[in-house]
Amino acid sequence: MPSSPPTLRRITVLSGGVGGARFIQGLLHGLRSGLVPGGSPDTEVTVVANTADDWWIHGLKVCPDLDTVMYTLGDGIDVERGWGRRDETWSARTELEAYGVEPTWFGLGDRDIATHLVRTQMLEAGFSLSQVTAALCRRWLSPLHGDTVTLLPMSDDRVETHIAVADPDSPSGRSVIHFQEYWVRLRAAVPAEAVLVVGQDAATPAPGVLEAIAGTDLVILPPSNPVVSVGTILGVPGIRDAVRATPAPVVGLSPIVGASHVHGMAAQVLTSIGVEVSAGAVGAHFGARSEGGVLDGWLVDSRDADQLARLEAAGLRAQAVPLMMSDPDATAAMAAAAVALASAGRA
């Protein structure tokens, strides 16, 4: 008689912005429609989101990955863009431009600005980023998800990814710019020479993060950027150790399909840290827990089945399945495959 899959009471996901949010949306769809083995509509999902993309602009604290997850799961996202509010208008940006206020390359939508105003006011009143996030989520997550979805920043401390790029005008031949300037102004069109995560060594995990990793039934690394999303979360002192130590299985899904990322700039930042841009190399970069890494299993796209032997040699359970998040059913199937890969090791 086939054994039933272990019940999933809790799942913890370490997420960036667009890739992570789309995956979690598919995971929730899968849990609610019975597509995920062992899952149910009551399975609690805790999202630990990257905050190293955060920055201050026009006096406002902006947290792109937290907001992308919050708006996506709260059905407020602009689906086409993948970030920001649906039905957005841009009057404030136009007015700021008319005043000649820099930077003009980072547009804040009018609806989105309300979120940043609430966040900034609360931070300035002394609330932590975790408390602010919980308050914002009462609007976006509670009505649709009740208590089943919790969004946590990776840390309440200021941690910022900066990118070194070649700059012939600088005496050192390079300059170091905020991640947002690299991504939004330069469109990641020049090589990233180095990734510097400012403030990371002194940061501590936000309340609830270590508990969510230690006390879960499954940890998932979604197809988020392995360097500037998942990498920065794991780099907060204590988080990598918690992932290594959790009794729960840890599985990930490759954001690299074929020779590059699906969207974004993972290829540029992987190259800057000396990791080959392939699904197999990223799995090996995270590494097997049995070999000092953070993963037990790693899913690659069907097109990357040639990477499986290399991953198994690195001590990982690996499988090739379709990994394109083209619609909620396809994404739910990815989540189901991740759960199946996790439970395969428990047989």
List interacting residues with Ca ion (CB under 5 A): 16-17, 53, 65
What six digits make up the tokens of 196? Answer: 């510097």
344 binds, among ligand GDP, Ca ion, none (CB under 5 to 8 A by kind): none
Residue written as tokens 């399945």?
A: 321
- Neighbouring residues of 149: CB distance < 8 A, sequence distance ≥ 6: 28, 44, 45, 46, 47, 73, 141
| Nearest CB to ligand GDP, comparing residues 247 and 274 | 274
By CB under 6 A, name the one of 14, 17, 297, 340 that touches ligand GDP. Answer: 17
Say how far apart CA 207 and CA 210 lie, in whole Å.
8
223 binds, among ligand GDP, Ca ion, none (CB under 5 to 8 A by kind): ligand GDP
Q: How many C-alpha atoms does 281 have within 13 Å on its Cβ side? A: 17
305 binds ligand GDP (CB under 6 A): no
338 binds ligand GDP (CB under 6 A): no
340 binds ligand GDP (CB under 6 A): no
The CA distances from residue 282 to 34, 197, 227, in Å, are 30, 19, 10
What is the signed CA dihedral for 63, 66, 67, 73, rounded to 10 degrees? 180
| Nearest CB to ligand GDP, comparing residues 122 and 256 | 256
239 binds ligand GDP (CB under 6 A): no
- Segment contacting ligand GDP by CB under 6 A, of 13-21, 92-100, 155-163, 171-179: 13-21
| Nearest CB to ligand GDP, comparing residues 255 and 280 | 255
264 binds, among Ca ion, ligand GDP, none (CB under 5 to 8 A by kind): ligand GDP
| Nearest CB to ligand GDP, comparing residues 15 and 216 | 15
By CB under 6 A, name the one of 25, 225, 232, 246 that touches ligand GDP. Answer: 225
Pairing of β 218-221 and β 194-198: unpaired
Q: Are the beta carbons of 249 and 216 closer than 8 angstroms?
A: no
Chain Cα centroid distance, residue 263: 13
- The runs of H, that is alpha helices, within 79-176 are 91-98, 110-124, 129-140, 142-145
257 binds ligand GDP (CB under 6 A): yes
Say how far apart CA 45 and CA 24 lie, in whole Å.
9
- Segment contacting ligand GDP by CB under 6 A, of 14-22, 30-38, 110-118, 232-240: 14-22
Interaction site with ligand GDP (CB under 6 A): 15-20, 65, 68, 223-225, 229, 254-255, 257, 261-264, 266, 323-325
